[in-house]
C-alpha cells in the first residue's frame, strides 16, 4: 500500500516546525519574565524583611523552633530559599550554606551572619557541589516555577543519610492570608503555588525521595498571652484539629537502594534463660560481613552466666562475648552490651527466643538495603501461638502502638517487640542526645524509639511470628510495668509533641 505524498508536505512540516519554535520561545520569554518579576519582588522587600518578621514573630519563631528541634547543632546544612539567613543561623550548623536568587537578600544575610556561606543562585539552576546532613526547604514551594526540577537538582547534595525537611503553608489558610494581605496585616505576595501534603508527597516520589514523616504545627499565628500557648502547644497537636494548623512539615530521604554489606553485633540480654543460650547461636543464620554475639547476663539464679561461658568455649569459631551486667534492667543491659559492640549494625535479640532468630536476616536486609534507618519487629500481624502473649498484654501493645504513631509522626504497630536494629553510628547519635529525655527507661525500647524519632530516623516494621517460650517464664509484670510505660508515654508527649 502506498501513501500519497503531497508536494505541499515539506511546506506544512516547516510551518509546524516554525510554529513550535515560536511557541517554545514565547514560553521561555514568559517564564523569564515571571522569574524576573519574582526576583524584583524579593529584592524590593529585602530591606523590610526583618521588620515584617518581627510583626509576625509567632510564625517565624515556631518555624525556627521546629527546625532547631529536628536538626542537631553542628550538622552540615544547606538551605534553598534562605532569604536573609535567620533560619539557617537558628539551627546552628557547623557548615551552613544558604542559596537564594535575590541578590539583595543574600547581601543582607552575609552581613548578618558572616560565619555562614551564602550564594546568589536560582534554585532551578543550582547544582550543589557538596553533600549535606540536612537540606532545608522552608516556605519555598509556594514560589518555585518548577518544584520537580529543583528537587531533582538536590539529589546531588544527598547521601543515603541526608534528611530533606520541607515546611509549607496549609492551603486551607489561603483565603485568610489573602484577606490579611488586602488589609495590610501581611506582606503582599506574588501569585503563589498552593500545594497539599499529597501534592508534595507525589512530587517527592517522582524525584526519588521517600517522605516518611509529617507534622502539623501552629493554630493561632499571633502572640497573644495565654491564648496562643493554649492553641499552639495544646490544641494544635491534637488529632483532627491539627488539620487546621497553619503549616505542615515533611521529612524525606533518598529512596535509593544500597547493596553494601556490614558487620553485625547481636546483643542478647539474658536473665534466667539458661535453656535458650545455645539455641540463640545455633538458630541464627549467617548474614552480614561478620557476626558478633554479645550475651549480657543479668543476675540470674539458674546458671545462665555459666551456660554462656560454656557455649563461648564450645563455639570458639564464633565471636561470642560474655558480660555480667553491673546494673539492673534490660535497658541497662542494652547500654552495657552496645558499649562492647564492634559491628556496624546493632541488633537486639531477646533471649527467650519468642521472636525467632531465623528472622534476623530480614531485619538486616531492610537496614542494609536502605529501606529504613531503624528496624522494629512487629508481633501483631501474624496469628500468635496460644501462650505467646496474654490477652491484656495484646490489648496494651495495640494501645501503645496507636499512641506512639501519634507521638512519633510515623506508623508504629508494636512498640514493645524486643527486636530492634539500627546502625551503630545512629545509636551513638542517640547516646549523644540522650540528655534530652534523660535516663528514664528501664526497658530500653522507649529510649531507642524516642531517640530515633528525635533524630528523624525512618522507622520500618518487620512482621514476625511470635512463638511460645520453650524455656523459663515471662519477666514482665503486666500492671506494674504497664503503668510505668504509660507514664513514660506521657513524659515523651511533652518532650516530642506538646513542647
What average pLDDT does range 154-174 have in this prediction? Answer: 94
In a domain, 15, yes or no: no
Last residue of a domain, one of 198, 226, 254: 254
Q: Do 239 and 116 lie in a common domain? A: yes
Lowest mean pLDDT among 103-117, 347-361, 394-408, 446-460: 394-408
For residue 19, is pLDDT > 80? no
| Among 49-58, 241-250, 396-405, 439-448, the range of highest mean pLDDT | 241-250
Cα–Cα distance between 320 and 292 in angstroms, integer?
Answer: 6
Residue 16 inside a domain? The answer is no
Mean pLDDT for the stretch of residues 421-431: 96
Per-residue confidence band for 386, with pLDDT thresholds at 50, 70 and 90: low
Average pLDDT, the chain: 86
Asked whether the predicted pLDDT for residue 18 surpasses 70, the reply is no
The verdict on 243 and 299 lying in the same domain is no
pLDDT in tens, 253-308: 999 889 899 999 999 999 999 999 999 999 999 999 999 999 999 999 999 999 99
In the predicted model, what is the mean pLDDT of residues 217-230? 90
pLDDT over 70 at 385, yes or no = no
Q: What is the CATH number of the domain that holds 100?
A: 3.40.50.150
70 shares its domain with 165: yes
My answer on whether 337 and 248 are in the same domain is: no
Q: Could you tell me the pTM of the whole model?
A: 0.85
5: pLDDT strictly greater than 50: no
One-character DSSP codes across 85-109:
SHHHHHT--SEEEEEES-HHHHHHH
Query: Which is more confidently placed, 5 or 474?
Result: 474
Query: Looking up cell 547461636, which residue turns up?
Result: 281
pLDDT more than 70, % of the chain: 86
pLDDT, greater one: 271 or 412: 271
Q: Is residue 307 domain-shared with residue 413, that is, in the same domain?
A: yes
Q: Which of 233, 254, 275 delimits the end of a domain? A: 254
Assess whether 69 and 173 both reside in one domain.
yes
The closest alpha carbon to 217, from 198, 199, 196, 243, belongs to: 243
Sorting pLDDT into bands at 50, 70 and 90, what band is 406? Answer: confident
- Domain containing residue 287: CATH number: 3.90.550.10
Domain membership of residue 195 (yes or no) is yes
pLDDT digits (tens, 9 = 90+) for 105-149: 999 999 999 999 999 999 999 999 999 999 999 999 988 989 999
**Residues 214, 85: one domain?**
yes
- Output the pLDDT for position 28: 47
Unique residue bearing C-alpha cell 557547623 = 94
pLDDT of 388 strictly over 60: no
- The confidence score (pLDDT) of residue 420 equals 95
Q: What are the respective helix, strand and coil percentages of the chain, to the nearest 5? A: 45, 20, 35
Under the banding of pLDDT at 50, 70 and 90, the label for residue 438 is confident
What is the Cα–Cα distance from 124 to 152, expressed in whole angstroms? 9
Residue 243 and residue 386 share a domain:
no
| Number of domains composing the chain | 2
- Asked if residue 282 and residue 388 are part of one domain, the reply reads yes
Q: What's the CA gap between 300 and 306, in Å, rounded?
A: 10
In-domain check, residue 41: no
Confidence of residue 26 (pLDDT cuts 50, 70, 90): very low
| Residue 450 forms part of a structural domain | yes
pLDDT at residue 315 is higher than 90: yes
Residue 329 near residue 300, CB atoms below 8 Å: no
- Per-residue confidence (pLDDT) for residue 12, from 0 to 100: 57
> Per the domain annotation, does 5 fall within a domain?
no
Same domain, yes or no: 381 and 471:
yes
Local confidence band at 443 (pLDDT 50, 70, 90 cut-offs): confident
Residue 131 domain-assigned (yes or no): yes
List the grid coordinates of 29: 520569554
Mean pLDDT in residue range 328-334: 91
- Domain hosting 418: range is 264-496
pLDDT at 100 over 80: yes
Specify the 3-state DSSP secondary structure of 42: helix
Both 321 and 428 in a single domain?
Answer: yes
Per-residue model confidence as pLDDT tens digits over 464-496: 888 765 555 555 555 665 677 777 778 878 888
Average confidence (pLDDT) over 413-419: 82
273 and 185 part of one domain: no
Grid coordinates in use for 27? 514560553
Return the pLDDT at 14.
63
**Range with lowest mean pLDDT among 203-207, 300-304, 375-379, 398-402:** 398-402
In-domain check, residue 250: yes
How many other CB atoms are there within 10 angstroms of residue 411's CB atom? 14
Residue 124, pLDDT score: 92
Query: Which residue among 236, 254, 272 closes a domain?
Result: 254
> In whole angstroms, how far apart are CA 378 and each of 16, 96, 427?
61, 39, 20
Amino acid at each position: 500500500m502506498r501513501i500519497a505524498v503531497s508536494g505541499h508536505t515539506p511546506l506544512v512540516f516547516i510551518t509546524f516546525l516554525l510554529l513550535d519554535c515560536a511557541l517554545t520561545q514565547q514560553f521561555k520569554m514568559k517564564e523569564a519574565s515571571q522569574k524576573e518579576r519574582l526576583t524584583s519582588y524579593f529584592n524590593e522587600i529585602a530591606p523590610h524583611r526583618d521588620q515584617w518578621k518581627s510583626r509576625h514573630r509567632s510564625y517565624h519563631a515556631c518555624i525556627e523552633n521546629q527546625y532547631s528541634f529536628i536538626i542537631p547543632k553542628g550538622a552540615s546544612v544547606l538551605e534553598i530559599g534562605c532569604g536573609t539567613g535567620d533560619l539557617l543561623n537558628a539551627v546552628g550548623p557547623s557548615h551552613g550554606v544558604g542559596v537564594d536568587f535575590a541578590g539583595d537578600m543574600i547581601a543582607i544575610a552575609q552581613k548578618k551572619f558572616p560565619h555562614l556561606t551564602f550564594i546568589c543562585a536560582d534554585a532551578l539552576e543550582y547544582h550543589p557541589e557538596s553533600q549535606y546532613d540536612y537540606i532545608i526547604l522552608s516556605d519555598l514551594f509556594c514560589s518555585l516555577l518548577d518544584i520537580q526540577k529543583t528537587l531533582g537538582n538536590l539529589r546531588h547534595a544527598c547521601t543515603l543519610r541526608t534528611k530533606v525537611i520541607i515546611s509549607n503553608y496549609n492551603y486551607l489558610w489561603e483565603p485568610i492570608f489573602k484577606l490579611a494581605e488586602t488589609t495590610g496585616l501581611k506582606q503582599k505576595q506574588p501569585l503563589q503555588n498552593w500545594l497539599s501534603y499529597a501534592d508534595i508527597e507525589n512530587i517527592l516520589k517522582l524525584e526519588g525521595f521517600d517522605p516518611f514523616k509529617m507534622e502539623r504545627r501552629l493554630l493561632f499565628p499571633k502572640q497573644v498571652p495565654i491564648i496562643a500557648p493554649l492553641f499552639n502547644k495544646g490544641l494544635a497537636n491534637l488529632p483532627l484539629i491539627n488539620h487546621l494548623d497553619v503549616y505542615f512539615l515533611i521529612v524525606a530521604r533518598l529512596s535509593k537502594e544500597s547493596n553494601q554489606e556490614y558487620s553485625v553485633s547481636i546483643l542478647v540480654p539474658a536473665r534466667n534463660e539458661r535453656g535458650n543460650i545455645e539455641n540463640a547461636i545455633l538458630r541464627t543464620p549467617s548474614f552480614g560481613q561478620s557476626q558478633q554475639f554479645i550475651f549480657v547476663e543479668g543476675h540470674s539464679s539458674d546458671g545462665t552466666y555459666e551456660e554462656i561461658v560454656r557455649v563461648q568455649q564450645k563455639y570458639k569459631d564464633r565471636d561470642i562475648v560474655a558480660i555480667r551486667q553491673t546494673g539492673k534492667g534490660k535497658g541497662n543491659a542494652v547500654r552495657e552490651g552496645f558499649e562492647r559492640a564492634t559491628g556496624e549494625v546493632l541488633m537486639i535479640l531477646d533471649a527467650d527466643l519468642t521472636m525467632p532468630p531465623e528472622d534476623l536476616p530480614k531485619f538486616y536486609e531492610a537496614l542494609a538495603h536502605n529501606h529504613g534507618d531503624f528496624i522494629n519487629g512487629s508481633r501483631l500481624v501474624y496469628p500468635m501461638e496460644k501462650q505467646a502473649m496474654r490477652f491484656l498484654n495484646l490489648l496494651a501493645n495495640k494501645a501503645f502502638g496507636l499512641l506512639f504513631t501519634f507521638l512519633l509522626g510515623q506508623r508504629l504497630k508494636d512498640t514493645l517487640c524486643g527486636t530492634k536494629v539500627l546502625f551503630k553510628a545512629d545509636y551513638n547519635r542517640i547516646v549523644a542526645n540522650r540528655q534530652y529525655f534523660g535516663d528514664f527507661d528501664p526497658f530500653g525500647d522507649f529510649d531507642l524509639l524516642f531517640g530515633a524519632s528525635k533524630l528523624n530516623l525512618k522507622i520500618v516494621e518487620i512482621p514476625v511470628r511470635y512463638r511460645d517460650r520453650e524455656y523459663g517464664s515471662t519477666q514482665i509484670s503486666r500492671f506494674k510495668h504497664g503503668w510505668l510505660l504509660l507514664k513514660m508515654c506521657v513524659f515523651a508527649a511533652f518532650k516530642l509533641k506538646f513542647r
